[in-house]
Amino acid sequence: MDAGFVIDWLNLVLRWAHMIVGIAWIGASFYFIWLDNHLREPLDPADVAKGIGGEVWAVHGGGFYTAKKFTLAPERLPPELHWFKWEAYTTLITGFLLLCLVYYYGAQVALIDPAVMALSRPEAIAIGLAFLVGGWLVYDALCRSAFGEDEAVLGGLLVLYCLIAAWALCHLFSGRGAYIHFGAMLGVIMVLNVFFVIIPGQRELVKAKEEGRKPDARFGLMGRQRSVHNTYFTLPVLFTMIANHYAGLYGHPWNWVLLVMISAAGALVRVWFVQRHKGNANPLVLASGLVVLALTAIVALPRPDPEMAGGPVAFAEVQPVIQKRCTPCHATKPTQDGFAAPPKGVLLETPGEIHARAATIYQQAVAAKAMPPGNLTNITDTERGLIARWFKSGAQ
């Protein structure tokens, strides 16, 4: 069986599964954050006597629902409790397998960029795994330290930590590889928050009730702190999952700055939504997120390159460059190692195909310098300049 066919199908199945379980996890997470922030004093005074700290009434799908939250735990446990954990665990499992397939198996194409740092495949994989494991260890240590008792101080330290991680990753890996590992690091933190803190805390509450002990409120507070962190990490993680489509960001010379700025914008937007749930939304928070996003777009504007200066270039001059540097991957049957099919189905074999993709070629190969990935085909700045001058003279 053709290896390329198997890899393509593994990629499809893992990516689809990751999306499905990720939606289930994030949907449940967003719902419970919304639920917690919409709790109101129980309408029935008898519920207060039972230890219920708040309730929510809702209408959906043609019916009325009520959800009640106990301050600590009910007097008597019900025969069945629903736990929300496998959505998070399967998101980590499918995401890690997809990371291995795309970025570790295909490290020479997707992860390593010799122009950034000349790494061997084992070195690149080891560094990637170290960020995933180390990211959790540092984060967890900060949360459990004295800093974790002050949300403002802890938040500042976590922002600084993310900034350092983004800078380091973008100076080690290709832009695509750096962005996905930044998101994966946050994603691992989110899942391990569930595995090591939130679920064990919930198990302790259940065990205390079963043994007739008063539940320790500390476990609930720890779980809530980590849940809040998870909800603020969510939008930055989702951005990194789609960032590989935007070479103008990950291929930019200041890609780490753009990564931090967009992550900050996403976190601010999420903060505003959480405030809105509580009924005290601050428009300045939302405005700040949108301003940061707008500033990111300004920073991402392509800068003039001296190599691109000169007169018009005819198609006859640029076609050999594209055939030599682009077509090895973007062909019906790619000749470049590591490619079983043309990336994203883009073909650049005929003059018609090249003309139809002129804007994409310019954006990817010149403005972002993201293609060829890791400069596999050794395109030169002079050749990029020819492409730029051809495109700007009308791509005739």
Mean pLDDT of 71-79: 85
Do residues 18 and 58 share a domain? Answer: no
The whole-angstrom separation of Cα 284 and Cα 303 is: 31
Are residues 53 and 145 located together in one domain of the fold?
no
pLDDT (0 to 100) of residue 381: 86
CB burial of 295-327 (b: ≥16 within 10 Å; e: otherwise) equals ebeeebeeeeeebbeeeebeeeebbebbeebbb
Which helix (DSSP H) or strand (DSSP E) does residue 199 occupy?
Answer: helix 199-210
Confidence of residue 393 (pLDDT cuts 50, 70, 90): confident
Residues 91, 59 share a domain: no
Mean pLDDT of the chain: 92
Q: Specify whether 141 is located in the same domain as 234.
A: yes
- At residue 364 the predicted structure's pLDDT band, cuts being 50, 70 and 90, is confident
Query: Which structure tokens are listed for 360?
Result: 């994409």
- The answer for residues whose C-beta is within 8 angstroms of residue 340's C-beta and 6 or more apart is 2, 3, 4, 5, 7, 8, 334
Question: For residue 305, what pLDDT is reported?
Answer: 63
16 and 47: one domain? no
Q: Rounded mean pLDDT of 64-71?
A: 93
pLDDT confidence of 76, banded at 50, 70, 90? Answer: confident
Rounded CA-CA distance 22/201 in Å is 23
Rg of the chain over all Cα atoms, to the nearest angstrom: 25
Task: Report residue 77's pLDDT band, with 50, 70 and 90 as the boundaries.
Answer: confident
- Amino acid type, 355: H
Full-model pTM:
0.89
Under DSSP, the state recorded for 378 is -
Residue 17 has which token pair?
Answer: 């599964």
Lowest mean pLDDT among 148-152, 167-171, 225-229, 344-348: 344-348
Q: What is the DSSP letter of 374?
A: G
91 shares its domain with 197: yes
Residues 60 and 136 in one domain: no
Q: What is the pLDDT of residue 22?
A: 97
Tokens of 50: 């039972």
> Is the confidence at residue 307, as pLDDT, over 80?
no
Q: Which residue has the higher pLDDT, 396 or 117?
A: 117
Higher pLDDT, 306 or 137: 137
Task: Specify the higher pLDDT residue, 294 or 306.
Answer: 294
C-alpha distances out from residue 14 to 92, 100, 152, 180, Å: 11, 11, 38, 16
Instruction: Say if residues 296 and 209 touch (Cβ distance below 8 Å).
Output: no
pLDDT at 115 over 60: yes
Residue 89, in any domain of the structure: yes
Q: How many CA atoms lie within 13 A of 184 on its CB side?
A: 25
* Same-domain status, 90 and 196: yes
- Residues 348-362 have a mean pLDDT of 91
Q: List Cβ neighbours of 253 (8 Å cut-off, separation of 6 or more).
A: 303
| φ, ψ of residue 41 in degrees (nearest 5) | -60, 135
Name the more confident of 278 and 55: 55
Q: Give pLDDT, residue 308.
A: 62
Specify whether the CB–CB gap between 35 and 45 falls below 8 A.
no
- pLDDT at position 12 is 93
Question: What percentage of the chain carries pLDDT values higher than 90?
Answer: 67
Structurally, the chain folds into a number of domains equal to 3
Residues 335 and 194 in one domain: no
Q: What is the CATH number of the domain that holds 326?
A: 1.10.760
Rounded average pLDDT over 71-94: 91
Given this model, what pLDDT does residue 1 score?
Answer: 61
Domain extent for 341: 307-392
Residue 220 lies in a domain: yes
Provide mean pLDDT across the span 293-312.
81
User: Mean pLDDT over residues 123-152, rounded?
Assistant: 96
**Domain match, 45 and 186 both:** no
Same domain, 204 and 56: no
Q: Is residue 297 part of a domain?
A: no
Q: Residue 109: its pLDDT value, please?
A: 87
Predicted local distance difference test score (pLDDT) of residue 306: 55
Report yes or no on 262 lying in a domain: no
Assess whether 102 and 147 both reside in one domain.
yes
- What was the pLDDT predicted at 122? 97
